[in-house]
Amino acid sequence: MTAVVPETKVTDVTAADPPPEIIPARHRRSPVKDYGALVGIAVLAAILLLWAPSSLSSFRLSNLGRYCALALASMGIGLAWGRGGMLVLGQGVFFGLGAYAMAMHMKLEVAGPEGVPDFMTLYGDGTMPVWWEPFRSGTFTVFAIIFIPAVVSLLMGWAILKRRVKGAYFAILTQAMAVAFAVLLEATGKETGGFNGLNTFSTVFGYNLFDPEVKQNLYRVAAGLVIVFLLILWQLYRSRYGELLVATRDAEERIRFLGYDPANIKLVAFVTAAVMAAVGGAMFVPIVGIISPLDVGASASILLVAGVALGGRTSLFGPVLGAIAVGYGRSTLSESFPTQWTYFLGGLFVVVILLLPGGVASIGSKLAGLRKREVLT
């Protein structure tokens, strides 16, 4: 009994369309319980923090570290898109802001106390833009990784959401921002490294990047942050705010009539998602050793969303598992089937979105007989 005939009123295309096939967030009577998820987090923590470091080679482990960095950004997308109904196609911007902040600091570490990053001498005139200067400080860098994306997303979100830009408009605008950001980076080669991006680091906060011990610890930090973010989201989802966010997604007008400002509710999710992406970006750089416009542009942003869609956008674990699966697939499947990988990725998008909009996470719920109660609209 799939509805073939479109019966929605598509006249107002800007309205956020409720995703009907998706299991509505949690239909709990009381938001206090749901400790089962904690068990899941514990299992994941055990796998990521205990099993993986002891049984994976350093190469596989650093790959997993990279997937974890991407998973941090994916979790933000889960919050903004899955719970908030905002399809964010430009998370690369915030991922990039965090990553470049970190990379600038690491570049200055290589350059030494008074030094200038090598590429500025090689390709520019050897002078450093003033705005690089504060990134010599590690404390400022950590602050900047959180603060800059937060402010940028706040301003951006405020301008967009307050004007009630929703649905497809929102998605396209965010994607345009990712494109513009990547082109901007390419156009400012002397200041940001351009298309080559920032690379050739040796230390992070004084720790030698080539030291196996440091590499392991970098992985541990990334994996640890995944767990921390999961706990934060778990708490957020079961809070009153979490309920409000889902309600805004499903029936924004009603929320407005109830006296809330939906823009503010969504803004909180948007900014949180941006900060999560930035932290992911900041972890990505020391683990991978390079950040370039290719890692922050439109297609990188879409790949992040792909992971979330695969894992399950509304589920707590979906985005994390999806990000790890897409990263793993990209590394491993592409080793054996380089061209087929693109077909596979493309097919995955279509099949998952078409048949399983709740992602892999929804299979479990369906099997458990907890199949959807219809979305209340």
Partner 1 sequence: MRAKRVLQPLVLVLALALFAAACGGSDEPEASSATETASSESTTTETETETASEVSDDICVEGDTVKLGFLNSTSGVMAISEQTVRDSLTLAAEEINADGGILGKQIEVIEEDGQSEPTIFAEKINKLLTEDEVAAVFGGWTSASRKAMLPVVEGANGLLFYPVQYEGLEASPNIYYTGATTNQQIIPAMDFLASEGVETLFLAGSDYVFPRTANKIIKQYAEELGIEIVGEEYVPLSSDDWTTQVAKIAEAQPDFVFNTINGSSNVGFIKAYDEAGLGPDNSPIISVSIAEEEAPSMGVDLTGQYASWNYFQSVQSDTNSTFIEAFQAKYGDRPTSDPMQAAYVGLYLYRNIVEKAESFCVEAVNAASDGVTFDAPEGLVTIDGSNHHIAKTGVIGQINADNQFDIVWTSGEPIEPDPFLEDYAWWDPNS
Partner 2 sequence: MDALTTPFLTGTATGAILLMAALGLTLTFGQMGVINMANGEFLMVGAYVAYLTQQVISSAGVSIIIAIPIAFVVAGLLGLVLEATVIRWMYDRPLDTLLATVGVALVLQQLAKDIFGAQGDPVVLPGWLDARINVFGYEWPLRQLFTILLAVASLALLNALLRYTSFGRRIRATVQNRQLAETQGVPTRNVDRMTFFLGSGLAGVGGVAISLISGTNPTLGTSYIIPAFLVVVLGGVGQLKGTVLAAWGVGVATAFLTDWTSGSMAQVMTFALVVAMLTLRPQGLFTVRTRSLA
For binding to partner 2 (CB under 8 A), which residues are involved?
2-21, 87, 89, 159-160, 163-165, 167-169, 171-173, 175-177, 179-180, 183-184, 186-187, 253, 298, 302, 305-306, 309, 339, 342-343, 345-350, 353-354, 357
374 binds partner 1, rule: CB under 8 A: no
Burial class (CB in 10 A: 0-12, 13-18, 19+), 302: middle
Closer to partner 2 by CB, 253 or 261: give it: 253
367 binds partner 1, rule: CB under 8 A: yes
Closer to partner 2 by CB, 11 or 55: give it: 11
Phi/psi for 208 (5° steps) reads: -70, 120
Least distance (Å) between residue 16 CB and partner 2: 7
Closer to partner 2 by CB, 109 or 252: give it: 252
Which among partner 1, partner 2, none contacts residue 288 (Cβ within 5 to 8 A by kind)?
A: partner 1
Which among partner 2, partner 1, none contacts residue 347 (Cβ within 5 to 8 A by kind)?
A: partner 2
Closer to partner 1 by CB, 119 or 270: give it: 119
Closer to partner 2 by CB, 48 or 177: give it: 177
50 binds partner 1, rule: CB under 8 A: no
Which among partner 1, partner 2, none contacts residue 153 (Cβ within 5 to 8 A by kind)?
A: none
Q: Identify each DSSP E strand in 142-270 by its residue range.
A: 198-199, 203-204, 207-208
Per-residue burial over 210-245, b if 16 or more Cβ lie within 10 Å, else e, is eeeebbeebbbbbbebbbebbeebbebbbeeebbbb
Residue matched to tokens 């937060």 = 150
- Is the sign of the CA dihedral 228, 319, 82, 367 positive or negative? negative
Which among partner 2, partner 1, none contacts residue 216 (Cβ within 5 to 8 A by kind)?
A: none
Given a contact cutoff of 8 angstroms between Cβ atoms, the answer to whether 153 and 94 are in contact is yes
Least distance (Å) between residue 249 CB and partner 2: 11
Say how far apart CA 110 and CA 90 lie, in whole Å: 30
Residue type for position 359: G
Show Cβ contacts of residue 242 under 8 Å, excluding neighbours closer than 6 positions: 25, 31, 83, 236
Say how far apart CA 69 and CA 63 lie, in whole Å: 10
Residue 199 β-bridge partners: 290
List the structure tokens of 21. Answer: 């096939």
Least distance (Å) between residue 357 CB and partner 2: 6
Say how far apart CA 360 and CA 312 lie, in whole Å: 6
> Which residue in the set 113, 126, 206, 259 belongs to the binding site for partner 1 (CB under 8 A)?
126
Which among partner 1, partner 2, none contacts residue 335 (Cβ within 5 to 8 A by kind)?
A: partner 1
Binding-site string for partner 1 from residue 70 to residue 109, where x marks contact by CB under 8 A and - marks none? ----------------------------------------
Residue 291 β-bridge partners: 198
Task: Annotate 106-132 with DSSP letters as a single string.
Answer: HHHHHH-TT---HHHHHHS-S---GGG
Show Cβ contacts of residue 376 under 8 Å, excluding neighbours closer than 6 positions: 24, 250, 251
32 binds partner 1, rule: CB under 8 A: no
328 binds partner 1, rule: CB under 8 A: yes
Which among partner 1, partner 2, none contacts residue 370 (Cβ within 5 to 8 A by kind)?
A: partner 1
* 165-194 positions binding partner 1, by CB under 8 A: 183, 186-187, 189, 194
Residue type for position 38: L
The residues binding partner 1 (CB under 8 A) are 28-29, 33-37, 39-40, 43-44, 47, 55-60, 62-63, 66, 121-123, 125-126, 183, 186-187, 189, 194-197, 199-202, 209-210, 288-290, 292, 294-295, 315-317, 321, 325, 328, 331-332, 334-335, 338-339, 341-342, 360-361, 363-365, 367-368, 370
